[in-house]
Every structure is written in structure tokens, then in C-alpha cells.
Amino acid sequence: MKAVALSKRRKSKARATDGKSKPGRNPGMALDLDWVQSLRVNRSAVERRAATIPTRRSVKKQWQAAWLLKAISCIDLTTLAGDDTPGRVRRLCAKGRRPVRADILAALGAGDLDLRVGAICVYHEMVAPAVAALAGSGIPVAAVSTGFPAGLTPLETRLREIELSVAAGAAEIDIVISRRHVLCGDWQALYDEVVGYRQACGDAHLKTILATGELGTLRNVARASLVCMQAGADFIKTSTGKEPVNATLPVSLVMVRMIRAYGEQTGCQIGFKPAGGISTARDALSYQFLMREELGTDWLSPGLFRFGASSLLGDIERQLEHNVTGRYSAANRHPAG
């Protein structure tokens, strides 16, 4: 049984290496339950490491500016509100195209970076307006899907929702997993569900939201991360932003360590997206330190790293202006998103 699983693992590694021409796509592999069950996570050790991530590293001056600009390029600028309208989404998209005031960028010598956010993230009904507003910008539209945020609508509806969003122009699909499969230990069901989502996505990239705040233990977070990657997730994402606890550094540490383990085993680079509650430049830097320390610089670019955030950009803008002028900035000096 184990031997079979291992040989499948090796096979998928080979596939991934062959498919290097298509970076960022995870072909997935057969569900390896032995691997899933063997995972061990010591919560206190995780928390201790996570607590020193923000204190072991620091960036100042132009390094800080560059790192924050990089953070902007990784933001999935998000609006997921019941009162979203095409007008509201157009404003957000415009902000995504020009996230920082041109004079600030010029002062930083970064005018030629062609800085944009990583994606615009919306509900299905807002996909079309967003796609229209972003035409020509190269910024992808991400749609939250599969009965977001609870994921308890009929499977048929969830699959259809993905297909409709892809048809409407979404290049990335942020699905929510069925927490009940994790809590009941039904890894096969979780695997099958995500495999189905992945098929429905077609060429659209699949981000799987684990809703870690509802999974109970860090072990469950690790196991769910691995099952989603085995099922073909291109990104694993912490939270919907609607759980009582959203992205935290300890949860993120567990997930990025699973990304590393999966990469070591298969050769595939899986992306990571913390979401919910990341609202300050300082938070953003902490997550960047986490990615760089645990996975390396590859994971600092939007291909493999996104922030799910709505108010983060504003704080970074103020920080960048401070970096240029030496004066603390105010929100009204920056275009609203």
C-alpha cells in the first residue's frame, strides 16, 4: 500500500519536472494517506518560531521601501461585501492599476516598476465588471467560489459556480473547502472534492481556502494543506476573512512548511495566500519574512504569494510616503480604493 503510494508520488514528481514550461500549475498526485497521517505538528514549537519571525528580521530605508512595494505587487485587492456594485468594483480596479501615487514612486526611483496589485478579488457577480475594468492591465480577476464562505451549497451548484466564474473571465478561483471533511477526518472526501474543483477550473488557477480558524488543530491545518496540494491546488489560502480567527503567523508557518514538504517530495512550487486581518505594513513585512525564511525568495513574488487584504494597501501607502518625506502620512492624501 505504502509502496504504491510512494511510487505514485515519484511519478507525479516526474510529471511536475517535465511540465516546467507551465510554471505555477500543480498537477497534483494520488492521495497519499500514509503521508497525511504521519504529519506531526507541535503547537508550542510552531508558536515559538512564529513569535520570532517578526523579531529576527528587519528592513530599513530603501530596503523597507522595496519590500513594501513588493508586498503591494502581491496583494489580492479584495471586496467581498453584500453591497458591492459595478461602480465600487471599478474604483477598486483603478486602484489596483495604480496602487501608489506616482510622485511617491518617482521619489523612490521606482517609477519604472510598472507596479500593480496581484489580483482583484470579488464575488462571481462582480467578475464581469472587474474583467472589463482591468482590460489591458494584465491584472487577473480572482473569484471566490463554491458557496463562499461556508461552502455548504449543493456540490453541483458549487462546481457550476466555478465554471460560470471562469466563463465570466476569472483567471483565479478561490474555493472554500468543506470543513466537515477535515473535522470528520474524511480525507478521501476532501481530496475528491478539490480534484473536482480543480477540473472545473480548467486553466484558471485554483486557490483552496482552508478556513483554518474552523479546523480546530494545527495538525488538521497541516493535513488539509497536504490533501489540497495532492488534489491539485495551485495555492493554499488560510481564511475567508469571515471566520472568527483569520490569518495568523503560526497557522501560516504550518502551511508554508507543508508547501516546502510537498515541494521536496514532488518538485512542485505551491503558492501561499494569507487572508484576513492583515492590515499594516508591519504585518505584511512579517509575512514576507516568513516566506523568505521558510521557503526562499521565489515565494516573495505574486506567482507564489498573495495577501488577501482590503485595508493593507492604505497603510503601506502611508508608510511609503513617510519613507520619502520623513513625515507621518494621512489616509486622505492617498486615492481611496
Please choose, out of 15-23, 36-44, 237-245, 269-277, the segment that lies near another protein by the rule CB under 8 A. Answer: 36-44
Q: Does 55 bind another protein (CB under 8 A)?
A: yes
* 112 given a catalytic annotation: no
* 11 given a catalytic annotation: no
Give the shortest CB-217-to-another protein separation in angstroms: 5
Give the shortest CB-183-to-another protein separation in angstroms: 14
Q: Which is nearer to another protein, 85 or 297 (CB)?
A: 297
Q: Does 98 bind another protein (CB under 8 A)?
A: no
- Angle ∠(261,264,265) on CA atoms, nearest 5: 90
Residues 6+ apart with CB under 8 A from 230: 28, 29, 30, 31, 32, 191, 262
Please choose, out of 26-34, 59-67, 89-97, 180-188, the segment that lies near another protein by the rule CB under 8 A. Answer: 59-67
The closest of 292, 217, 238 to 260, measured between CA atoms, is 292
Q: How crowded is the C-beta side of 259, counted as CA atoms within 13 Å?
A: 30
Residue 172's SS3 state is strand
Give the shortest CB-173-to-another protein separation in angstroms: 28
State the amino acid at position 156 in one-letter form: E
Q: Does 112 bind another protein (CB under 8 A)?
A: yes
# binding residues, another protein (CB under 8 A): 38
Contact 144, 158 (CB under 8 A): no
Distance CA 23, CA 19 (A): 7
Contact 275, 239 (CB under 8 A): yes
Q: Which of 174, 234, 283, 315 is catalytic?
A: 174
The closest of 228, 230, 146, 220 to 183, measured between CA atoms, is 220
Q: Which of 234, 237, 283, 315 is catalytic?
A: 237
Q: Does 219 bind another protein (CB under 8 A)?
A: yes
Distance CA 191, CA 204 (A): 19
The CA distances from residue 170 to 122, 166, 199, in Å, are 9, 5, 15
Distance CA 151, CA 211 (A): 10
Q: Does 65 bind another protein (CB under 8 A)?
A: yes
* 20 given a catalytic annotation: no
* Among the listed residues 7, 17, 42, 188, the single contact to another protein using CB under 8 A: 42
Q: Does 257 bind another protein (CB under 8 A)?
A: yes
Give the shortest CB-73-to-another protein separation in angstroms: 9
* Among the listed residues 10, 43, 180, 282, the single contact to another protein using CB under 8 A: 43
Contacts to another protein by CB under 8 A: 40-49, 52, 55-63, 65-67, 69-70, 108-110, 112-113, 217-219, 257, 292-293, 297, 300
